[in-house]
Structure 1
Amino acid sequence: MKTNTPKNTLDNFIRLLYVLLVLLLGLMAYLFFGQVDSKKNAAVQSDSSAVFIQPDSNFTHVWTAPSDWRMMYLSPSQKELVVYGRELIAHTSDYLGPKGSVKAMSNGMNCQNCHLKAGSQPWGNNYFAVESTYPKFRARSGTVENQIKRVNDCFERSLNGMKLDSTSKEMQAILAYIAWLGQDIAKDVKPKGSGIFKLKYLKRASDPDKGKLVYDAKCQSCHQANGEGVLAEGGKSYTYPPLWGVHSYNQGAGLFRISNLAGFVKYNMPLGTTYEKAQLTDEEAWDVAAYINSMPRPEKDLSKDWPEIAAKPFDHPFGPYADSFPASQHKFGPYKPISDWIKKHRKSKS
C-alpha cells in the first residue's frame, strides 16, 4: 500500500495550483477578448446604421423585358418579325438611313440612340408601356393615335425623316417587336421603369453655360466637341449619335423638351451609366440638357401641334401660350410656376 509522503503532497499541490492558474488565465482571456469583440460588433453595428441608405423605391423592382428564350413559343413567322423588328430598332440606319439597304428615309441615327438597348432599358425611353396604352389620345396632335402614328412620329421628328409605309414589312416588324416587349403588361398599365424618369424641377432656370462645362467634361469624348457624333465604320450609321446639327433630331422631337432630355441623361449618360448608378447630379442633367437643346438643329413645321394651346406642356419652347410666361421660361425654366399655373387652370375647367 502506497502512502503520501510530504514530497508527493507538495507535488500534488503544485499541480493543482498550475491547473487553477491555467483556468484563471483562460477565464481572463475569455472575458477580455469577449469584451473586445462586443465593442467591435457594437462599433460595426453603429457604423453600419450610420452609413446605411434606404434604397430609392423608384429604382427597385423595375419592369424588365421578356427573355429571348420565350420566343420558342412564337410561330416561326412571328418570331422572324419580332427579331427583324428588334434589328430595325437597333440598326435603323443600316436599313432606312441615308445609305439604307431598304429605303433612304431618315437622318442616319438609329431608334436605339434614343430608345436604349432596342427600347428595353429601364428608364431608357423604352417601349414597355406602348402596347398597353395605345391607342390613346395625345394632346400634341389633338387626336387618338395608334401605334403606327407613334412610330411615324419618331421617324419624322427624332430621325428627321419620312413616314414609314404602314403596310410595309418594316412597320409590321417594329409593331411586332413592340408588342413582344409589352406582352405581359395589363391594358392601361405603365409599369415602373417605363419611359423616361421625371426629375424634380430646379428652383432656378436650367443654365446652358453651366451645361457646356458638363458637356465638355462628360459628353464630348463620344459626341465630339461640335456635337456631330462619330460615324460607324462604313458611314451608314453612328456609333455615337449627333446631338445637334443637320443630322440630329429636329425641334419636334420628344427629347427637344428639356425635361425629357434631362431625365434621359440623368440615368443613362455618360456611357456606362444606369438607373442603378447615376454619374450626374440633377442640376448637371438639367444644365447639360439645356446646353444641348440650345444648339442649332433641323426645324420642323409645328403649326399643327397642340391644337388646344392650354394643353401645351410646361417646357414646350414655342408659343403662343395660354399663360403669360415668356417663351424663354417655357424653354429653360424655372418650371414650377408654369406647372402650378397649368394644374390650377385645368382644375378650374373641370
Structure 2
Amino acid sequence: MESEKPSFKEQSLIKMIQRMLNLIIVLVAFIIILPLLIYNADTISGWFKSSNEKAITPAFPEAKPEKGNAVATTVAYWQPKAMDAIADPTLKEQVYYGRELIAHTAKYLGPNGSVLQITNGQNCQNCHLQAGTIAFGNNYGSVASTYPKFRARSGTEENIYKRVNDCFERSLNGKALDTSSKEMQAIVAYINHIGSNVPKGEKAVGSGLKDLAFLDRAADPIKGKTVYETKCQSCHQANGEGVLNPDKIEYSFPPLWGKHSFNDGAGLYRITNFAKYIKYNMPLGVTHENPQLTDEEAWDVSAYVLAQSRPHIAVPKDWPDISKKPIDHPFAPYADPFSEKQHKYGPFKPIAEKAKK
C-alpha cells in the first residue's frame, strides 16, 4: 500500500520551515563569527597582502603609555622601501633574490646549500630579524646611507661588500663570498634598495640595537643559566644546539653555542650587543616596546650563553689601535688597566668612566 503523499499546502509549509531554520542557522553563525572577525581583523587583512608586504613590512607601533616593563613610543621608526614598486624587472628579480638569501641563507649557502657550502647553517635573519627590517632588530636601515665608512675594528674604510663578508666569516662562521658573484650582488642590491629611503650620511630611526643600561655589577653566568632554562631552552634546547628542520637544511631555532653557532669574532660575542639584542627581541615575538626580560635577566643570560664554547676565529689585524676597542671587547690587550674578565662581563661603569677621561 502506497504511503499518502503530503498535500501541496503541507509541502509549502515544510519548505517555509526549512527556509526559516536555514535563516536561523545563518544568523546564529553570523552572531558567533562576527566578534571573531573583528578581533582578528589585522591578521585576516594580512592574508590578502602581497607576499612582499607580508615578508618585509613589519607592523610599526603607535604611541603607547609606559606601563610595567613596557617603554613609551612616540616616534616613527624606519620602514624598508617597498620592493614590488621596482620598475626594472631585472633589478626587481635581483632584489627579491637578495632578500631570499638573507632570509634563507642556509638553503643556498649552508652545509647542504644548493649554490655553495660555505656557512654554518644559520640564516642572516637569525641576527637581522625579518630580513633586516625590524626596528632595533639589527636592521639594515642605515647600511646604504652610511657605507662606505671607516671602522675602527679593521682600521680601514670599508664598503658594503666587506661588511657582508664580515658576517659570513664571523656570524656564519664561514667563508667570504666572491664580491662579483650573483649572490653577493643580490644581497647588496637588496640592502641598498630597502635602505634607499634614508638620506646619505644619516642614520635610520630605530636602526642598530636599542641602548641598555649597565648593571652596577658584573653579569652573572650562574644566574643566567636559570634564566636560560626558564625562558630560552624550550626553543634553543638544553645544550644550545637549536632545532634543525627535518630537511636538515635550515634551523627553525638557531644554535647559540657549539660548532654551528657564531664564532668569537662576531659582533654578538660582545656582551653589550648580545644583551641589547635579546632584551628587546627575545623570546621571539616580543618588541622593543614590550620586552619580557628584565635588564638583569638580559645581562645574566647573555653572560651564560657567551660563557659556552663556540668556534674561534683568528683575527690578528682587528683593532690596530687598541685604544679604540669597545669597553666590552673580550680579548686583551687593552689601553686601560681592567682585566679581560671585566671587559667580558663587567661591571662596565668603571671602564666607561675611565674611557671618558
CA distance in 1, matches of 2:298, 2:75: 22
Tell me whether 1:326 sits opposite 2:332 in the alignment.
Answer: no
1:64 to 65, 72, 79: 79
Map of 1:114 onto structure 2: 127
CA distance in 1, matches of 2:139, 2:192: 12
Alignment of 1:121-140 (within 5 A): 121-140=134-153
2:263 to 237, 250, 267: 250
2:232 to 215, 219, 223: 219
The answer as to whether partners of 1:59 and 1:276 remain within 8 angstroms in 2 is no
The answer as to whether partners of 1:58 and 1:192 remain within 8 angstroms in 2 is no
CA distance in 2, matches of 1:220, 1:57: 30
- Partner SS, residue 353 of structure 2: helix
Tell me which amino acid in the other structure corresponds to 2:165.
Answer: N
What stretches of structure 1 of length at least 5 have no aligned partner? 1-51, 345-350
- Partner SS, residue 216 of structure 2: coil
1:66/1:244 Cα in 2 relative to 1: closer, same or farther (>3 Å)? same
Alignment of 1:52-201 (within 5 A): 53=66, 56=71, 60-68=75-83, 71-201=84-214
Tell me which amino acid in the other structure corresponds to 2:82.
Answer: S
Tell me which amino acid in the other structure corresponds to 1:202.
Answer: L
Shift of 1:185: 0.3
Tell me whether 1:207 sits opposite 2:182 in the alignment.
Answer: no
User: How much identity, in percent, do the aligned residues show?
Assistant: 59
Q: CA RMSD in A?
A: 1.5
Map of 1:314 onto structure 2: 327
2:293 to 263, 275, 280: 280
The answer as to whether partners of 1:59 and 1:275 remain within 8 angstroms in 2 is no
Shift of 1:337: 1.1
- Partner SS, residue 85 of structure 2: helix
Tell me which amino acid in the other structure corresponds to 2:284.
Answer: L
Q: Deviations over 1:6-59 (max 9, x none)?
A: xxxxxxxxxxxxxxxxxxxxxxxxxxxxxxxxxxxxxxxxxxxxxx64885666
- Partner SS, residue 281 of structure 2: coil
Runs of 4+ in structure 1 deviating by more than 6 angstroms, as ranges, are none
Tell me which amino acid in the other structure corresponds to 2:108.
Answer: Y
Q: Deviations over 1:154-192 (max 9, x none)?
A: 000000000000000100000010011111101121122
User: Quick check: which one's helix share is greater?
Assistant: 1
Shift of 1:222: 0.4
CA distance in 2, matches of 1:176, 1:329: 40
Tell me whether 1:259 sits opposite 2:279 in the alignment.
Answer: no
The answer as to whether partners of 1:197 and 1:263 remain within 8 angstroms in 2 is yes
Tell me whether 1:231 sits opposite 2:244 in the alignment.
Answer: yes
Shift of 1:87: 0.2
CA distance in 2, matches of 1:80, 1:53: 43
Provide TM-score, normalisation by structure 1.
0.81
CA distance in 2, matches of 1:58, 1:284: 23
Shift of 1:67: 3.2
The answer as to whether partners of 1:198 and 1:260 remain within 8 angstroms in 2 is no
Tell me which amino acid in the other structure corresponds to 1:217.
Answer: T
1:144/1:66 Cα in 2 relative to 1: closer, same or farther (>3 Å)? same
Provide TM-score, normalisation by structure 2.
0.79
Tell me which amino acid in the other structure corresponds to 1:134.
Answer: Y
2:352 to 328, 339, 343: 339
Number of aligned residues: 292
Shift of 1:331: 0.2
1:287/1:59 Cα in 2 relative to 1: closer, same or farther (>3 Å)? farther
CA distance in 2, matches of 1:303, 1:59: 44
CA distance in 2, matches of 1:311, 1:118: 30
CA distance in 2, matches of 1:60, 1:206: 31
- Partner SS, residue 72 of structure 1: coil
Shift of 1:296: 0.3
What stretches of structure 2 of length at least 5 have no aligned partner? 1-64
1:59/1:89 Cα in 2 relative to 1: closer, same or farther (>3 Å)? farther
The answer as to whether partners of 2:72 and 2:289 remain within 8 angstroms in 1 is no
1:155/1:53 Cα in 2 relative to 1: closer, same or farther (>3 Å)? closer
CA distance in 1, matches of 2:112, 2:241: 18
CA distance in 2, matches of 1:237, 1:53: 38
Shift of 1:233: 2.2
